[in-house]
């Protein structure tokens, strides 16, 4: 059996009925695909990714973290759902179904994933009538944004002709260890991990001194720290119902905006676009703080050798989003500088070592603490750790195919928790970039409006960049109209 890492386990003890901890998204496939063909396609491939056929085995009294074990009763049909969009079969109907799917947690008695096959897409612009979508949910304890490489390889091909996959091999029937064995080993593991705490505290102290030295040497401010973000509507207790939407932008034009600020990156531009939308959304509600909002930006700590490993290997940067700045170019300049500072800090502290704190937390104690935090509404009683999460995952820039059907667009989702009720996964694929916020209905009931502001922010930033570069104005907008639905705004 394979034990979960401390970070992977955290996505289990944070989970409650109103806080499902899955990642996933909505993939739209161009053209018709029959459900039976989709099921057959998965049946031939699902065995190639271990986590798709493994379930969790828990330790008695939650002394230790759960372990992954092959599910001898695995049944593909229990992981596949089928539905159809109500008329007229447009974007409004698709995002409604996706929001409902994302609102419920996965069954821990089975492998932690589920696909919903959606038929009847008839009126989404740029999508052929009769196309289908696949809504995916996969528990965050099994995958992070970058460890999905093996999963992507299972689901997609680089040509319309599906590749041949190795046949399923017979495996020895899995045997779960007894309760006494699990309890004994769990207690031993907890004691062993606790001995690492003094070393981690020593490393943290050295990192703090090193960071202070770097800040003085380069004459820069210290990076944004947790609990320093202003309070917003996103930093409260979340309701059970999720709300999801997406905006699709032209990747090449988003990349071109980088030229407006020397050495700025695609990630800087994406953060600036999101910041502009957040500024407008909160300003309209008369809730824009004087201080800039702070985004937690996950940073992969994977080495080249670990790029296809499952599980989560990430650290965090805290980036001020310059939402107090009205000028989009100045906002981009500020975010670019803030990101540089954040990266200097990450290099100084060795994020891989600091993630060791997740390894020394007893699983059972962490679960009790997380549930108490939610029940007692503690999120209402302290400063915001950060305001939201923005995670940017680069994808392939060539067409992909699932069961012979072309992937038109891929849009993500990720979990929210009490105190952090907005997450914005960003995914690039084949010339497009999707910006797909997930929140709770009690915080952002008008998510469609926010997504419209994302598109408007992108257009405003591009116009400002073009003006700065003294180029002729282009016709059209930077945003595709695949998710335009003015009637829902």
Cβ-based neighbours of 44, under 8 Å, separated by 6 or more: 165
Active-site residue (options: 67, 79, 139, 140): 140
User: Is 21:15 a contact under the CB 8 Å cutoff?
Assistant: yes
Distance CA 306, CA 308 (A): 6
Give which of 251, 242, 27 is closest to 156, Cα–Cα: 27
Does 79 participate in catalysis according to the annotation? Answer: no
Measure Cα distances from 170 to 41, 43, 53, 167 in Å: 20, 15, 13, 10
**Sequence-distant (≥ 6) Cβ neighbours of residue 165 within 8 angstroms:** 44, 45, 48, 154
E strands, 198-283, in order: 242-244, 247-250
Contact by Cβ (8 Å): 349, 202: no
Q: Using DSSP, state whether 157 is helix, strand or coil.
A: strand
**Cβ neighbours of residue 132 under 8 Å, at least 6 residues apart?**
28, 29, 32, 33, 38, 117, 118, 119, 121, 405
b/e per residue 435-465 (b: at least 16 CB within 10 A): bbbbbbbebbebbbbbbbbbbbbbbbbbebb
Q: Which of 100, 101, 94 is nearest to 28 (CA)?
A: 94
- Dihedral of the alpha carbons of 210, 216, 219, 223, in degrees to the nearest 10: 50
**Active site (catalytic) residues:** 140
């Amino acid at each position: 059996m394979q034990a979960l890492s401390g970070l992977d386990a955290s996505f289990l003890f944070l989970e409650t009925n109103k806080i499902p901890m899955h990642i996933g998204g909505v993939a739209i496939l161009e053209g018709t695909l029959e459900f039976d063909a989709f099921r057959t396609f998965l049946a031939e491939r699902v065995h190639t990714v271990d986590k798709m056929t493994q379930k969790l085995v828990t330790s008695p009294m939650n002394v230790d973290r759960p372990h992954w074990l092959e599910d001898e009763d695995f049944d593909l049909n229990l992981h596949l759902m089928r539905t159809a969009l109500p008329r007229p079969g447009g974007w409004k109907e698709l995002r409604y179904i996706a929001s409902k799917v994302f609102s419920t947690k996965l069954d821990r008695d089975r492998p932690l994933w589920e696909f919903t096959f959606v038929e009847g897409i008839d009126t989404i612009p740029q999508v052929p009538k009769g196309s289908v979508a696949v809504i995916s949910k996969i528990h965050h304890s099994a995958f992070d944004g970058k460890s999905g490489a093996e999963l992507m390889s299972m689901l997609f091909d680089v040509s319309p002709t599906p590749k041949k996959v190795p046949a399923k091999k017979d495996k020895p029937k899995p045997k779960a260890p007894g309760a006494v064995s699990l309890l004994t080993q769990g207690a031993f593991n907890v004691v062993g991990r606790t001995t690492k705490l003094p070393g981690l505290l020593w490393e943290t102290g050295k990192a703090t001194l090193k960071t202070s030295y770097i800040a003085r040497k380069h004459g820069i401010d210290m990076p944004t720290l947790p609990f320093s973000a202003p309070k917003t509507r996103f930093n409260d207790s979340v309701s059970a119902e999720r709300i999801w939407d997406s905006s699709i932008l032209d990747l090449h034009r988003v990349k071109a905006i980088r030229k407006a600020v020397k050495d700025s990156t695609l990630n800087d531009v994406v953060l600036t676009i999101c910041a502009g939308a957040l500024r407008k959304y909160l300003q309209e509600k008369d809730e824009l703080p004087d201080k800039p909002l702070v985004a937690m930006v996950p940073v992969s700590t994977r080495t080249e050798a670990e790029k296809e490993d499952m599980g989560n290997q990430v650290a965090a940067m805290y980036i001020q989003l310059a939402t107090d700045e009205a000028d989009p170019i100045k906002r981009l300049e500020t975010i670019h500088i803030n990101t540089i500072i954040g990266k200097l800090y990450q290099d100084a502290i060795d994020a891989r070592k600091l993630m060791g704190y997740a390894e020394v937390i007893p699983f059972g104690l962490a679960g009790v603490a997380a549930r108490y935090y939610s029940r007692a509404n503690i999120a209402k009683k302290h400063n915001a750790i950060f305001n939201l999460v923005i995670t940017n995952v680069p994808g392939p820039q060539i067409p992909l195919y699932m069961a012979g059907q072309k992937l038109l667009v891929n849009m993500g989702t990720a979990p929210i928790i009490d105190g952090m009720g907005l997450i914005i996964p960003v995914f690039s694929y084949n010339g497009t970039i999707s910006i797909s916020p997930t929140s709770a209905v009690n915080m952002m009931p008008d998510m469609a409006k926010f997504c419209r502001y994302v598109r408007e922010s992108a257009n405003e930033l591009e116009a400002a960049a073009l003006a700065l570069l003294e180029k002729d104005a282009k016709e059209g907008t930077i945003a595709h109209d695949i998710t335009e639905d003015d009637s829902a705004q």
